[in-house]
Structures are given as structure tokens and as C-alpha cells.
Copies of this chain bind each other. A is one copy, B any other.
Amino acid sequence: MRPSGRAPKQLREVSISRSFTKHAEGSVLIAFGDTKVLCTASVLERVPPHKKGSGEGWVTAEYGMLPRSTHTRSDREAARGKQTGRTQEIQRLIGRAMRSVFNLEILGERTIHLDCDVLQADGGTRTAAITGSYVAARDAINHLLKTGVLKQDPIIDSVAAISVGIFQGKPVLDLDYPEDSSCDTDMNVVMTGKGGMIEIQGTAEGAAFSRTELIELLDLAEQGITELSKLQTQALK
């Protein structure tokens, strides 16, 4: 029995609100249950040094948690003067996931900068961030297509992410905080709308996991991402 009463294969309620703030080219508030992440996509007419003069663009991401998005207050990273290893790991993951569905040549020498800020955390912030970032990026690119800055669509597929894990000996989908903090194995899976695997990160928190468990977790993740892809499509209508 899951603490939330959900069935093992059941996602939390997911909501995707576009145009949540007004300045960004794409601005999405995504909620996976009580986890709420604001994902904005900014179009910058410049690229980082390693892309200068290449004719190609760049897609990158930054991630942060508001200090009291968590159960107890965490230090503000800006005040501490550096981002934690966890933050850097997550923002690198979001950036790789988003780049996997972009043709950087068609994007041209500009950057899509995603900012994922967690307003409220209840487990699964990185998967919500990736799923919401795709919608924000889609909106930003649509804006560039509409205004004629881009003639061709640089986005080649959609992308979404979900967590799965072994909780009390049983594979479950979309871990919330009470599950995440006491599960044995925790796995984040990133897949495209067409079903290609982009990233899989599984970690044994307690006991090691077996090949059989891994397969079960992947099945669950695939089902969850199929649902998320549909929700992304609906939200973008």
C-alpha cells in the first residue's frame, strides 16, 4: 500500500499551466501532485563560446529550489555562494534531455535557456522539470516560428521523464517524497514521445537490485511516460 493510496502504476495528478508568467517566451507551471515547478524558456540571441561561429545553437538548463519549497528550510544557494552537487547534477540532466530532441543546426546561433525553479517539492522535481521544460521550449520555438525568426522547426520529438522505484519490495510509478525517502531503488527515466530512451539513472539506495526488477521498473516508466506525452500534447493544444 502506497502512503498516498495510489495504485502501483498510478501517476499523481499532473497539471500543466502555460503562460504562467508573462515575460518568458515559454512559461509553464507543472505539478506532479504537490510537486510544483516553474519552467521558463528564454530565447537568447547568443551562444556559449564553444558554439560561436559554428552555425549551431545551444539548449541549456538551470535548476533551483526556493529555500522553503522543502519540508524544512534549505539554505539559499545564492547566499551560500555556490550550487550544490545535486543541483548541478539535475540541471545537467535537464539540459541533456532537452538537447536530445533539438536539431541545433536548424535552431541556428541562438540559445534556449530553460530555468526550472521548484516552488514546492514533494519528490520527483527533476522529472517534473524535464516534462514541463519540453512544453515551455515548445512554446518558445512556436513563438520563433510565428514571428518568422525560424522558418523550420528545430524540435524533432517531444521528451518527458518519470521516476520509478522499488517501494516496500514492489515496483511503483512516480515516487512522492514519503516513498522517495524510504525506497530501496530509485530510477529516473527520460524518453521521447516516439518511445526512444534518452537517459536512465537507477540507484540502489538500500539493497542492490536485480535485472528482473530493472525490467519491471522500465515497463512502469514506459507506461508513465506514454501518459505524460499525452498530457503534454493536450496542454499544447
List A residues at the B interface (Cβ < 8 Å).
Answer: 21-24, 27, 34, 36, 38, 40, 42, 44, 62, 64, 66-73, 76-79, 81-83, 85-89, 91-92, 96, 100, 113, 115, 117, 119-121, 187, 191-192, 194, 196-204, 207-211, 214, 218
Pick from B69, B78, B92, B208: contact of A23, CB below 8 A. Answer: B69
Task: Give complex CA distance A62, B75 in Å.
Answer: 10
Copies of this chain present: 6
Task: Give complex CA distance A194, B120 in Å.
Answer: 35
With both chains docked as a complex, state the minimum distance between the C-beta of A84 and any C-beta of chain B, in angstroms.
8
State whether A115 and B68 are in contact (beta carbons under 8 Å apart), knowing that A62-B79, A192-B208, A211-B218 are contacts in the complex: yes
Task: Give complex CA distance A49, B175 in Å.
Answer: 28
What B residues does A82 contact at CB under 8 A? 78, 81-82
Task: Give complex CA distance A191, B208 in Å.
Answer: 8
What's the dominant secondary structure at chain A's contact region? mixed
Contact A62 B76 (CB under 8 A): yes
Task: Give complex CA distance A28, B194 in Å.
Answer: 41
What B residues does A68 contact at CB under 8 A? 21, 23-24, 27, 40, 42, 115
Q: A66-B115, A68-B115 are in contact. List 9 more A-B contacts (CB 8 A).
A: A21-B119, A40-B68, A64-B78, A79-B83, A85-B92, A196-B210, A197-B208, A198-B204, A200-B202
Task: Give complex CA distance A77, B87 in Å.
Answer: 14
State whether A196 and B204 are in contact (beta carbons under 8 Å apart), knowing that A42-B73, A85-B89, A92-B85 are contacts in the complex: yes
State whether A197 and B209 are in contact (beta carbons under 8 Å apart), knowing that A96-B203, A120-B23 are contacts in the complex: yes
Task: Give complex CA distance A67, B39 in Å.
Answer: 11
What B residues does A38 contact at CB under 8 A? 66, 119
With both chains docked as a complex, state the minimum distance between the C-beta of A152 and any C-beta of chain B, in angstroms.
20
With both chains docked as a complex, state the minimum distance between the C-beta of A234 and any C-beta of chain B, in angstroms.
23
What B residues does A204 contact at CB under 8 A? 100, 196-199
What B residues does A86 contact at CB under 8 A? 92
